[in-house]
Chains A and B, each alone.
Chain A
Amino acid sequence: MEPFRIHSGIVAPLDRANVDTDAIIPKQFLKSIRRSGFGPNLFDAWRYLDRGEPGMDPASRRPNPDFVLNQPRYRGASILVARRNFGCGSSREHAPWALADYGFRALIAPSYADIFFNNCFKNGLLPVVLGERDVERLFADVAAFPGFSLTIDLERQTVSTADGATVFAFEVDTFRRQCLLNGWDDIGLTLRHADAIRAFEAKHFADEPWLA
């Protein structure tokens, strides 16, 4: 996994609460057996006026000019600010894959759904939690200043504006932060405890043999 330390980038706003993973990447694209290539279909039903099917050439699609990511001022955005309960619904990891493949490195929202939140960390996509009021403020700033960008420093756990005038602090799990900062592979980490897992199994199956 690519480590995440400091990232600066253009911010795009998605002003809706409860954005579900079906909206982030619609089901017809889940038929792929690969991990990449989902970016062109991120928010497909909102982003295009025609109906998206796997295998379509993105260049031949009809973009919806009203959808925020199609507006020229947000081209190249790598930070998405969103409303509460972002990523609810289906557990599909295709959602963070699509966000990352599109070019997002971080999200900022007041809250996320649990499984989605977890999936982000596994893909080097940092889901930052800020208070409702801070998020509100970011929505206002993004609207007011074309090219509005932010710097997210995971080491210091801060989000700051380009001029450094405003700094928001955020919380993140120590263990998750460590994994992201170092780009650690979870599986490799866990396998260092293989003996502990084997010892656990021996006792577990002696206590409850019907589980084996």
Chain B
Amino acid sequence: MSARTLYDKLWDSHVVREEADGTALLYIDRHLVHEVTSPQAYEGLRLAGRTPWRTDSIVATADHNTPTTHWDEGIRDPISRTQVETLDANIAAFGAKAYYPFRDARQGIVHVIGPESGATLPGMTVVCGDSHTSTHGAFAALAFGIGTSEVEHVLATQCLLMKKSRSMLIRVDGTLPRGVTAKDLVLAIIGRIGTAGGTGHAIEFAGEAVRALSMEGRMTVCNMAIEAGARAGMVAVDDTTIGYLKGRSFAPSGDRWERAVRHWRTLASDTGAAFDTTQVFDARAVLPQVTWGTSPEMVVPIDGRLPDPDREKNGERREGIERALAYMGLTPNLPIADVSIDKVFIGSCTNSRIEDLREAAAVVRGRHVADSVRLAMVVPGSGRVKTQAEAEGLDSTFRDAGFEWREPGCSMCLAMNDDRLEPGERCASTSNRNFEGRQGAGGRTHLVSPAMAAAAAIAGHFVDVRRLY
């Protein structure tokens, strides 16, 4: 057989059948379910008198709507509560391999608990009614977000109807400078290829800098593949992948582990495999990044300045810059380091894992949040991350520095619960989207790494975190 990409291998091993026009029926191994995009799917199933094809494929949790304080009081917002209770009822009625409901010790953001429980394994197809499902591609899985109709389709048939995407290789040569993280790398990539740069593609991230990343770092990169327009991002299996998975609850053990590892080692692109598109980056040139506008591609390095619309010749882009600057309340040519902030959010499926919290804690240790910052909060990605962080004393580090230490969930990443920005408030956020109103109507979001968010909290404005080491 000719040389195949990782994507080819994952795709080929899941095709059940194919229509004449290339539309494939693709088998789905893991179905992650959360409360926001599943109620209408279960309702559809019920109305048609159908039942889930394979409940063992389902791992579910409540994360988007759940509060991050006062868990003893339950969910106060009645509409959010209904949605979470609807998930409880659907799982009770139809079943799942695992369910981590609100207040469970292992509850958390769906894209954090999948990998940490070993529910995401190399070679799997993983779907979820959530665009950041691309996160799981860090494990050499084919993982992508789907809509609610497709959630219902997977529940009922364990398959999806889809066409194969084009393949893109993003190779990052060299090593990232100290203090520059996976988040900075992926923001720099999006800054160059744009939010539609990956549309219609499945991206494989490779190269020395990607190999050097931890699983947490790879998850951060794959998580934001969707912000580059790609449905899926992925990284080949290596020792880092296997080391991470060993001993996880749902990972195989004993003889089966050995056999699995042998198979997983084949999950890499063959030498000479052809990609439809290739992009090469130099890790050595990446600086800490800060987004300035209302799209993740509107990003500058920390020593950079905001753009000047007068210098943009393309009319559509000029209007985009003007509109973004107006929404963000910023002026052209301003150095990004002169922008001061009101709030800091460390969390979300991009950056709420243990390593992210360690990086942020290392910056704030022995320092204090600036007086001008109204709220700085840390929201661990899951109950397990929270427990681990507390065992390491990170919670006290954050509290002593003036941060709030919260219960796990999506929180201010999309502000479906009470955690949100007020109109005009400016936030340094480790999440993945800076769209208008994303963190609250009128709120202004700047995307950064955990270390950069921590540094901004201390300084009260954006600052090169490397000056604080």
Q: Which residues of A contact B (CB under 8 A)?
A: 16-18, 20, 22-23, 26-28, 30-35, 45, 51, 54-55, 83-85, 88-93, 96, 111, 113-115, 118-119, 122-123, 173-176, 186-187, 189-191, 193-194, 196-197, 200-201, 204, 208-212
Contact = CB atoms under 8 A, between A and B. Distances in A.
Contacts of A187: 48, 50, 152-153, 156-157
Given A18-B295, A83-B316, A111-B196, A193 B147 contact: no
A57 to B, nearest CB: 16
Given A89-B435, A212-B56, A196 B82 contact: no
Contacts of A210: 121, 251-252, 256, 259-260
B272 to A, nearest CB: 25
Given A17-B316, A191-B157, A186 B437 contact: no
Given A45-B441, A197-B25, 8 more contacts: A16-B320, A34-B40, A83-B316, A85-B229, A92-B147, A93-B148, A113-B199, A197-B16
Interface of B: 13-14, 16-17, 19-21, 23, 25, 27, 29, 36-37, 39-40, 43, 48, 50, 53-54, 56, 64-65, 77, 79-80, 82-83, 86, 121, 123-124, 129-131, 144-150, 152-153, 156-159, 161-163, 165, 195-196, 199-200, 229-231, 251-252, 256, 259-260, 263, 295, 316, 319-320, 323, 414-416, 433, 435-438, 441
Contact of A119 (B121, B149, B319): B149
A30 B161 contact: no
A49 B29 CA distance: 45
B468 to A, nearest CB: 32
Given A118-B150, A173-B23, A30 B199 contact: no
Contacts, number: 187
Nearest to B54: A201
B160 to A, nearest CB: 9
A93 B404 CA distance: 34
Given A122-B150, A123-B149, A197 B436 contact: no
Given A26-B437, A187-B48, A187-B157, A211 B121 contact: yes
A84 B320 CA distance: 12
Contacts of A204: 13-14, 27
Given A173-B23, A197-B16, A211-B121, A85 B196 contact: yes
A27 B149 contact: no
Contacts of B231: 114-115
A23 B435 contact: yes
A193 B150 contact: no
Nearest to B198: A114
B158 A209 contact: no
A20 B297 CA distance: 13
A197 B158 contact: yes
A175 B22 CA distance: 9
7 contacts: A18-B320, A22-B438, A27-B438, A85-B196, A114-B229, A119-B148, A204-B27
A208 B199 contact: no
A93 B320 CA distance: 25
A187 B150 CA distance: 9
Contacts of B441: 26, 45, 51
A200 B343 CA distance: 51
B133 to A, nearest CB: 8
Nearest to B81: A31
